[in-house]
Amino acid sequence: LFTVFLVIHIGFLNLFNMANDLSFQEFPVHVDDTSGSMNDLETAISMNGTNPSNDNTNKQSFWSVEYYQQLFDVDTDKVIHRLLYSMVPRLNSNYVTQNIRPNPDLYGPFWISLTLLFTTAVSNQLGNLFAFDVNRTHHVVNFRMTGVIFFYVFMFPLLLLIFSWWRKVTDMYTLVEVICAYGYSLTIYIPITLLWAIHIDWLRWILAFFGLFLSGSVLVISLWPVVRKYKYFMSLGITGSVIIMHTLITVILKVQKLAVSGSVERELLMGNFL
């Protein structure tokens, strides 16, 4: 199934060649070499990577509703484009600079996070339906993953940005760009969570690490051009933390699936015993 999906996706690459040939401009966030100020941090957080020629966009205040409204104003074609490219890593391609800039969005990360919660719940229900007595109904919807997913998508990028500001790193991505990259990196887990309805544990783990490899590679390849500007060991440490956090969210999704299935199985066994 995923082989067919990848073949179809590679076919889409030719459709977006013209988009990749466009000349996107990078707008670095310059931090004072002597001391970091709160104004620099607010600038880094509030910048959304849009083209500075758009005066209306750049004049929006970080605390205004209009600022966040423009981050949800994105075309469907662009969202689909970013969804597809977030699942196939390419060594000669930077996902942030070539697919997110100059107009990052928050619609995709929100939609993907909520959809992932929904597909996880659906997968749990389908798995319980396929594995146990179909005449009994067991509604097990676990929303504890909401905080975990939204922390990973929205708070971890903020921590990365604050750390970069503290270390006075120039040319760092903006907060919205990093959130956008992390949000879209979870796209591959939407079909994977649905396939977890199949009660073959080794297949579930293969699918989990398959998604981890694809999406994690896209993240590392995109963040490395900025992270490598740190000192060597610090660069490795930050890259390692990115990989560890992405592995952790994958394992949590997988273990949560096992925990829900196991609880229903114990409930059925106790019911049959009584």
* pLDDT digit string, tens, across residues 45-58: 554 444 433 444 45
Total number of domains constituting the chain: 1
- Torsion sign across C-alpha atoms 26, 216, 14, 72: negative
What was the pLDDT predicted at 168?
77
Judged against a pLDDT cut of 50, whether residue 265 lies above it is answered with no
In a domain, 68, yes or no: yes
What was the pLDDT predicted at 144?
74
Q: Is 21 exposed, middle or buried (0-12, 13-18, 19+ CB in 10 A)?
A: exposed
Confidence grade of residue 19 (pLDDT, cut at 50, 70, 90): very low
* pLDDT digit string, tens, across residues 233-247: 888 888 999 999 999
Confidence grade of residue 169 (pLDDT, cut at 50, 70, 90): confident
Q: Which domain does 217 fall in, by range?
A: 32-273
* Distance in angstroms (rounded) separating the CA atoms of residues 118 and 177: 25
In a domain, 256, yes or no: yes
Backbone phi and psi for residue 244, each to the nearest 5 degrees, phi listed first? -65, -45
What was the pLDDT predicted at 273?
38
What was the pLDDT predicted at 90?
86
Judged against a pLDDT cut of 60, whether residue 2 lies above it is answered with no
36 or 161: which carries more pLDDT confidence? Answer: 161
> Comparing C-alpha atoms, which of 226, 219, 210 is closest to residue 183?
219
> Comparing C-alpha atoms, which of 181, 182, 193, 178 is closest to residue 252?
193
* Cis-peptide, bond into residue 28, ω within 30° of zero: no
* pLDDT digit string, tens, across residues 100-132: 888 888 898 999 999 998 888 888 777 666 665
Mean pLDDT across the stretch 146-162? 90
Q: Is 182 exposed, middle or buried (0-12, 13-18, 19+ CB in 10 A)?
A: buried
Neighbours of 94 (CB within 10 A): 20
In a domain, 169, yes or no: yes
Judged against a pLDDT cut of 90, whether residue 218 lies above it is answered with yes
In a domain, 24, yes or no: no
Per the CB < 8 A criterion, the answer to whether 118 and 190 are in contact is no
In a domain, 4, yes or no: no
Q: Which tokens is 11 given?
A: 């076919």
In a domain, 180, yes or no: yes
What was the pLDDT predicted at 10?
45
Judged against a pLDDT cut of 50, whether residue 18 lies above it is answered with no
How many whole angstroms from its chain centre is CA 78?
A: 16
Helices (H), the chain: 2-15, 17-20, 38-46, 55-58, 65-71, 76-85, 95, 107-131, 145-150, 156-166, 175-184, 189-195, 201-227, 232-273
Mean pLDDT of the chain: 73
Confidence grade of residue 143 (pLDDT, cut at 50, 70, 90): low
